[in-house]
Each structure stands twice: as structure tokens, then as C-alpha cells.
Structure 1
Amino acid sequence: MLAASVTQTSPTDPLSALEVGERPAPQAPDGWVRVRLEAASLNHHDLWSLRGVGLPDERLPMVLGCDGAGTDEDGRDVLVHAVVTSPGWTGDDTLDPGRSLLSERYQGTLAEEVVVPARNVVPRPPELSAAEAACLPTAWLTAYRMLFTQSGTAPGSTVLVQGAGGGVATALVVLGRAAGYRVWVTSRSEEKRERALALGAHAAFATGERLPGRVDAVMETVGEATWAHSLRSLRPGGTVVVAGATSGPAPSAELQRVFFLGLRVVGSTMGTREELVRLLDLLVATGARPVVDRELPLARAAEGFAAMAAGELFGKVVLRTR
């Protein structure tokens, strides 16, 4: 089968570690099912995997990709929940100490086929295309959990999304607007600020710009470049939800500000199968849809990876397998 994979990681030149070519079709253990993929999407997790972060040499070769949609062995339209829990785990998927994502221990979705535990197959509503559904299991599920589970806010609250343009950020704008939040965004790019406004953000600011008021919560995936601004933007008692640090770790936690103003710093990673189902229900009910920057055939995966590495995207890269 055709797949995008890594056989030797490169910490300094991740794109050189990407291989697109034929790989053996995966075998399904007992309790696992095969999904014939129609579409898959890229995440920054895939770039980290090419660098070898969370992917030691003994697990190579590895097919990349966490997100995918296609048909199961009975011909039903499905999407794949990317979080694989330990056998017998019954709690929150994200709190299982033995959890992993597809493409960490198990072969991923940037391929014509993938095998996953039966519980990781989720029916795809007919209202969503395979390309739209393929955007959801990582970035959009992450955004859903950040906003609705972890932020402690409610519709009508003001939230700040740092770094408009990425998959999680665009998801936060769309979901926040659909659910009745006041959504502000930041970006270094004037073009991305304008596109965020067109997408539904109520206001857009340059990175680090002083805001006209304090916000109830900040959605933080950038890290070092925006951390100080995130803390300074919060009202007393506000919450910063952290789900990434693409620019590096925060240089200072600014603990005096945190305790003096009673701020909450909450970590958030991916989401549960149940949250993914609720996300699907929300999209069907509201008509909100994922933002797709571009669609490419799987054979041209390198183009999508290069655009993501260069920060050229507004939304998701979707790779089509058929």
C-alpha cells in the first residue's frame, strides 16, 4: 500500500526523513479492525515524529499520521479516534498513563489502510465529507477539549486564541463563534488576522499587542513567543489552557502574576472518544465545518509537510488516498 512514513529520523532536517512509497499492509490483531482510508490530515505531531520526538529508533519504520476517515470492513463511513488506550482502561482516555497516539506505537493513517482497536472507530455523519472528518481527531478534538472541557468558561465569555492560522487555532475560532463565545485572535501575519476575522473571530491583533480589555481565558499552543502576553491578557481569576508550545517552552512561568491574580494554568491533551462524538454532533447541529487549507493526493505528501513546516497554512492539509 502507498504510505507516508519514516525509517530514519532527523532532528535537524525533518523533511528529509519523510518517505512516500510502498509499505506492507498492516495486520489486525484480535479486537482490532481495518479501515480503508479515503482522507487523512497532517498535524505538527507528524513533524515532531520525523525529528524523532516520541518515536525512538526501535519503533521504526513507522507510518505517520493520527487522523483519518474512510470505510470499515462492513462498508460503513467512519473516522478514526487517534488515542489508543491500554487494554481494559475505562477512564478518561487522555489520563491513561499507557496511552499513545497512532504513529507512536502503532502504524498511522497517512496510508491507504490502517488498523485500530474497534472502539477507536467512530461513525461518520453523512453531513460531513471524508476530508472534513479527517481534520477532526487531533486538532479539532484538541480545540474542543480546550474550550468546552478545560477552560471553565461558558458562552458569552471572551477567549483569546494565540497564533491564528494553525489547525487548532482555526478550530477554536470556528467552534467558539458557533457556540456563542466572543473570540479574539493574535497573529504576526496581517493576512492571517484578516482571514481569522472572515472565519468568525470578533477581533484580531498583532502578536503581543495590548488588548482593549482582559479576557476570561487564553487558548495557548505557541509557548515561548506568546506566554507572557497570555498571562498579561487574563482577567483576575482567568484561565490559560495550554495544549502546545510550538515556539519553545515558556522562558518564565511568571509565578508571582499567577498566584497574585489567582490565575489558573490548565494543561490539555487531545480528547476522549466521547468528546469526539460530541464534536461531531456540534458540527452537524451548527453547520460549522473544518477549515481546509489544501487537499493533495497522498503521493504529494511532501508538499503538504513543507507548507506546514514553513508556517504557510491557514487550516489543515488533507491528503487523499482515493
Structure 2
Amino acid sequence: MQALVLDGTNQPVQLREVPTPQPGPKQVQVRLHAAALNHRDVWIQKGQYAGLKFPIILGSDGAGIVTEIGEGADESLRDQAVIINPGHNWGDNPAAQGRDFTILGLPNDGTFAEYVCVPAHYVQPKPAHLSFEQAAALPLGGATAYRALFTRAALQPGERVLISGVGGGVALLALQMAVAVGAEVWVTSSSEEKIEKAVALGAKGGISYHTAKWPAELAKQAGGGFDVVVDSAAGPGFGNLLDAAVPGGRIVFYGATQGDVPMLAARKVFWKQLSLLGSTMGTEQDFAGLLRFFDEHQLVPVIDETFPLAEGEAALRRMDQGQQFGKLVLKIIY
């Protein structure tokens, strides 16, 4: 089969012929129609991820057709259009993943290929209203956003939500779901164009996070602070989120792209009765809830650009530049 292979740190992915994987016991083989990128793929390529091993086929997100059935797997899955849950071996505790938790695309070969094999219980029917490209854009980012909003922050209709750094896949999926559930959503970005696009998706408005004292200015626009704040950056600007939250607010963060928080204003946290909630990926129940939510509300993930598999390196570089609005997708079958 054709696959994009990463041979080492700071190397470009290369399209080459590799053996087609065959399903083991209780596994299925999926003929991938589309795969999607995540920042995780860029971090692995740069060597900024734990458990590196090479060569590796990157890619956590994918959708396609089940073509082969391993021993003990459900034969009825054959020829079914499926979406792959990339979070494997969560463990028995729904509150946090266990030591054996893995994400497809490292340590096991992922979806930047014509075929992938996964345990059969990690494939679910592709939402009928989504194309393969749209379905491929959903799994990792969607599960992350769903768990952050609903499992961790317990978002309720009518609450005011702030989503920082809108434009990335998780942030946009969180925006779409929060709007669909009846929340009032506001955003931050360094780009006025991205804020305008977020408004077109249902956000009430937004502000550049380069604006001086932006939490106070945004609160004036919104008519108050925010019940739920969703963040992926952390870093030096995290203190602004403490200011943006209402007393009793919940701040849920699923990443630290700007690094650790250098100084935390502890007094603001305890005096405002804030909850700081970490979140990573999602359980199988979170993933099932995500699919039900997208089906019920007929939501469609935002796709920034679609590339052929052979141009996977160009797609990775676009992600690295951070200019995208929505998911970057590799179309494998035309």
C-alpha cells in the first residue's frame, strides 16, 4: 500500500510503498478514504512528543470502509462505512486515562495510509450526513472538545462560553457544539478574519488576545464574564482567563501550546471559587456521545483545506504555520 512514512525527528514524511497491514484477532482492516491532521502529528515530527519510535506512519483521524475482518471480530462490519476512534485502552476509570492509554499514529501506525488495522470496537458507523472527508475531521478533535465541554465543564444551555485561540480544529468543534447546545459563545484570536469566521459559525463576537486588558473589554461587549472558558494554550496568558471567568466559573484546558503557566494568581482562583479542569481526549463513552451529538444536530466539521495523500508534507507545514481555520484533511480515495 501507499503510506506517508516518517523516518526520524525533523524529517519530512515520504510517500512510499509499505506492506499492507492484515487484521489480527478481533481487529478490522479499514480502507481509508480520508485522514485528518492534528498538531500531535507536527509535534511528533519535531521530536516534541513522548515515546517516539521510527519509522512510523502518522495520523490519528480517519474514515473509510471495512475491507477485512480478523478472527473473532464481527463479520457484519465488512463493507461498512466507518469512523475510527483514535483513543485506545482508556482503562476502567472514566475520570482519567490509564497507563496503557494510546493514541493511533504512535506507537501504532496511523491513518496517513491507504489501509489501517484497529481493534474492531474502535470503529463506529460513519455519520450518514458526513462525507468521508468531513468524518475524518471529527475524531480526535471532536472527542477532545466534547469531553472538555460536557464531561469536564458540564456546560449547560444559556451559559456564556469563551473559547480562546479560535481557528484550530478542537476550538472550532467546541464552538459548534456549544452553539448547538444553546450556549452564548465568544472567542479570542490574533486574527480579525478568524473572529469574523467564528461569528459566521454562531459566535456572538470576539477580541484579539493582543488587546491590552482584553478580558475587561470583552466582558463589556458580552455583558459580563464567562461561565465556561475553553483553552488550549496555557502559558503566560493563562492569567487573563482567570480574569475573564465569572465567580464560580470553570476553566477547562486541553493543551499547553504556549508552555506551562509561569505564575498562577492563586488568590484569584480561590476567591472567585474557580474550577481549573484538565482534559485529554475522551473515553469510549465520550466518543459515542460525540457521534450522537453530531447526528442529532447535523453538525459538519469545518475543513480548511484538503490535500492528496502525496502532499501530506505540505499539509503538515500548513498546520505548523498555524494559519488554518478548521481541519486539514488528506483525501486518499478520489
The one-character-per-residue Cα deviations of 1:146-188 (angstroms, maximum 9, x if unpaired) are 1111113311101100001000111111111111000000001
Match of 2:195 in 1: 193
Match of 2:301 in 1: 290
Of residues 20, 29, 32 in structure 1, which corresponds to 2:24? 29
Q: d(CA) in 2 for partners of 1:93 and 1:130?
A: 31
- TM-score normalized with structure 1 length: 0.93
User: What's the secondary structure of 2:9's corresponding residue?
Assistant: coil
Alpha carbon RMSD of aligned pairs, Å?
1.6
Match of 2:292 in 1: 281
Of residues 79, 86, 107 in structure 1, which corresponds to 2:83? 79
Match of 1:270 in 2: 281
Report the residue type matching 1:218 in the other structure. V
Q: d(CA) in 2 for partners of 1:77 and 1:300?
A: 25
Match of 1:13 in 2: none
Q: d(CA) in 2 for partners of 1:61 and 1:111?
A: 14
Match of 1:3 in 2: 3
- Work out whether residues 63 and 108 of structure 1, in 8 Å CA contact, stay in contact via their aligned partners in 2: yes
User: What's the secondary structure of 2:5's corresponding residue?
Assistant: strand
Of residues 247, 259, 273 in structure 2, which corresponds to 1:248? 259
- Work out whether residues 4 and 111 of structure 1, in 8 Å CA contact, stay in contact via their aligned partners in 2: yes
User: What's the secondary structure of 1:293's corresponding residue?
Assistant: strand
Q: d(CA) in 2 for partners of 1:194 and 1:21?
A: 40
Say if 1:26 and 1:93 are closer, same or farther in 2 by CA, change over 3 A: farther
Deviates more, 1:264-273 or 1:92-101: 92-101
Residue 85 of structure 1: CA displacement?
Answer: 0.5
User: What's the secondary structure of 2:171's corresponding residue?
Assistant: helix
- TM-score normalized with structure 2 length: 0.90
Residue 253 of structure 1: CA displacement?
Answer: 2.2
Q: d(CA) in 2 for partners of 1:296 and 1:133?
A: 15
Q: d(CA) in 2 for partners of 1:270 and 1:206?
A: 27
The one-character-per-residue Cα deviations of 1:258-290 (angstroms, maximum 9, x if unpaired) are 122111111111112222222222222212210
Of residues 56, 61, 64 in structure 2, which corresponds to 1:70? 64
Match of 2:71 in 1: none
User: What's the secondary structure of 1:95's corresponding residue?
Assistant: coil
Q: d(CA) in 2 for partners of 1:56 and 1:168?
A: 23
Percent identity for Structure 1 against Structure 2? 37
Q: d(CA) in 1 for partners of 2:291 and 2:88?
A: 19
Match of 1:303 in 2: 314
The one-character-per-residue Cα deviations of 1:132-153 (angstroms, maximum 9, x if unpaired) are 1111111111111111111133
Of residues 178, 181, 184 in structure 2, which corresponds to 1:182? 184
Q: d(CA) in 2 for partners of 1:55 and 1:107?
A: 15
Gaps of 5+ in 2: 68-77
Q: d(CA) in 1 for partners of 2:326 and 2:135?
A: 14
Report the residue type matching 1:163 in the other structure. G
Q: d(CA) in 2 for partners of 1:93 and 1:109?
A: 28
Report the residue type matching 1:286 in the other structure. H
Residue 5 of structure 1: CA displacement?
Answer: 2.4
Q: How does 1:94-243 map to 2 (within 5 A)?
A: 94-207=96-209, 209=214, 210-211=217-218, 212=220, 213-243=224-254
Report the residue type matching 2:147 in the other structure. R
